[in-house]
């Protein structure tokens, strides 16, 4: 505690913070019968060099060890915002950036500490950019970097049968056959649906064959009439046989039973029905026209 003065006088003092940190030296006028406040001491401290500071222990009435004053040491966050440590014996928070950002126009630019270096970005809020499939996006963030396979250049309109894609940073028209059925040239019965853009893969065509017996000759489908005739004949024969078995065979069997029972007329009637059914089947399913 400072002593009371027996006479009014001016004295040289060191000014102290509440925590006892040195705030500077000055001269104070003290009236008779009063004492210096706790924020002053006549035990003068003079820094050994600029930027140094000490702390006064009021209980021991002495200055403790001198340290570097960290109060106004600057540091920055990744966005270039400036902070100070704020305490003489403080230290830099973990992960902060001590390097000062470069000069930039705060009206049109921002800075960001990225990859261990400061980078300056133009403010492009509201600007359009497009991905490789021509989807449009609007910049809504500061410190924007155009992603890979994106472009600030507006894509052109796709031509009919094409889509526009970004290839090597340039817009290109690319064939689009997606959802179309393509047929294998070596076997017209084999087909598949196109799922991706680009040219039709080799050995396939978009042209639809007219029959299951077409062959790809000189860039067009040509029907193999011989194979078609054989297949059509076999199909009619198979159909007739199936219908005979369902419609005629039961009538023939029943006619035979009637005859065994001595009911000849009924047997004849059923045989007549059988012949009529056979004729109807043959009429509805004629043989294909023979090749000439």
pLDDT in tens, 217-238: 999 999 999 999 999 999 999 9
Concatenated DSSP letters of 230-245: HHHHHHHHHHHHHHII
Beta strands in 31-149 (DSSP E): 40-41, 52-53, 56-57, 62-63, 67-68, 74-76, 82-84, 109-114, 117-122, 128-131, 136-138
pLDDT at 292: 73
Is pLDDT at 246 greater than 70 in this prediction?
yes
Nearest to 216 by CA among 232, 226, 205: 205
Distance CA 243, CA 248 (A): 8
Residue 291: predicted pLDDT: 82
Among residues 22, 53, 59, 54, the alpha carbon closest in space to that of 39 is found at 22
At residue 3 the predicted structure's pLDDT band, cuts being 50, 70 and 90, is: confident
Which pLDDT belongs to residue 158? 96
Residue range 104-131: mean pLDDT, rounded: 95
Q: Which residues contact 245 (CB under 8 A, 6 or more apart)?
A: none
3-class secondary structure, 202: coil
For helices 264-284 and 249-260, give the axis angle rounded to 10 degrees.
Answer: 170
**SS3 label, residue 255:** helix
Q: Percent of the chain at pLDDT above 70?
A: 100
pLDDT at 201: 93
Distance (Å, rounded) from C-alpha 243 to C-alpha 284? 11
DSSP state of 55: B
257 in Cβ contact with 271 (< 8 Å): no
- pLDDT classification of 74: cutoffs 50, 70, 90: very high
Does the reported pTM lie above 0.75?
Answer: no
pLDDT at 290: 86
pLDDT for 192 beyond 80:
yes
Average pLDDT of span 271-285: 96
Give the count of beta carbons closer than 10 Å to the beta carbon of residue 155: 19
From edge to edge, which strands make up the β-sheet containing 22-30? 22-30, 9-16, 40-41
Task: Write out pLDDT tens, residues 8-19.
Answer: 999 999 999 999
Q: What is the mean pLDDT of the chain?
A: 95
- The number of C-alpha atoms within 13 Å of 40 and in the hemisphere containing its C-beta is 16
- The mean per-residue pLDDT over the stretch 193-213 comes to 95
Q: What is the pLDDT averaged over residues 232-249?
A: 96
pLDDT of 159 over the 90 cut: yes
Rounded Cα–Cα distance for residues 172 and 197 (Å): 12
Residues with Cβ within 8 Å of residue 108, at least 6 apart in sequence? 122, 123
How would you label 162-190 residue by residue, b for 16+ Cβ within 10 Å and e otherwise? ebbbbeeeebeeeebbeeeebbebeebee
What percentage of the chain carries pLDDT values higher than 90?
Answer: 95
- The band of 1, judged by pLDDT with boundaries at 50, 70 and 90, is low
Element (H, E) at 265: helix 264-284
- Residue 253: pLDDT over 70: yes
Tell me the C-alpha distance between 290 and 288, whole Å.
Answer: 6
pLDDT confidence bin for 86, thresholds 50/70/90: very high
Residues paired with 54 in a beta bridge: none
The residue to which tokens 């492009």 are assigned = 124
Band (pLDDT 50/70/90 cuts) for residue 2 is confident
């Amino acid at each position: 505690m400072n002593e009371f003065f027996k006479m009014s006088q001016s004295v040289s003092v060191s000014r102290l913070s509440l925590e006892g940190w040195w705030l500077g030296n000055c001269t104070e006028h003290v009236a008779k019968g009063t004492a210096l406040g706790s924020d002053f001491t006549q035990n003068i401290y003079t820094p050994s060099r600029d930027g140094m500071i000490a702390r006064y222990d009021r209980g021991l009435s002495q200055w403790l060890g001198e340290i570097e004053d960290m109060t106004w040491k600057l540091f920055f966050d990744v966005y270039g915002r400036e902070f100070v440590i704020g305490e003489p014996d403080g230290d830099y928070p973990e992960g902060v950036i001590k390097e000062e950002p470069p000069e930039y126009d705060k009206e049109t630019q921002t800075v960001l500490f990225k990859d261990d270096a400061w980078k300056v970005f133009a403010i492009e809020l509201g600007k359009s950019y497009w991905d490789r499939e021509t989807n449009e996006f609007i910049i809504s963030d500061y410190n924007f970097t155009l992603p890979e396979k994106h472009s600030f250049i507006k894509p052109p309109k796709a031509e009919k049968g094409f889509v526009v894609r970004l290839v090597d940073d340039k817009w290109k028209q690319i064939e689009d056959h997606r959802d179309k059925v393509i047929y294998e040239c070596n076997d017209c019965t084999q087909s598949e649906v196109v799922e991706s853009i680009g040219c039709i893969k080799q050995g396939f065509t978009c042209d639809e064959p007219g029959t299951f017996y077409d062959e790809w000759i000189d860039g067009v489908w040509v029907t193999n009439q011989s194979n078609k005739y054989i297949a059509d004949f076999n199909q009619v024969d198979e159909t007739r046989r199936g219908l005979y078995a369902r419609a005629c065979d039961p009538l023939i069997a029943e006619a035979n039973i009637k005859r065994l029972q001595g009911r000849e007329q009924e047997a004849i009637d059923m045989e007549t029905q059988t012949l009529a059914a056979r004729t109807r089947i043959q009429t509805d399913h004629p043989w294909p026209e023979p090749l000439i």
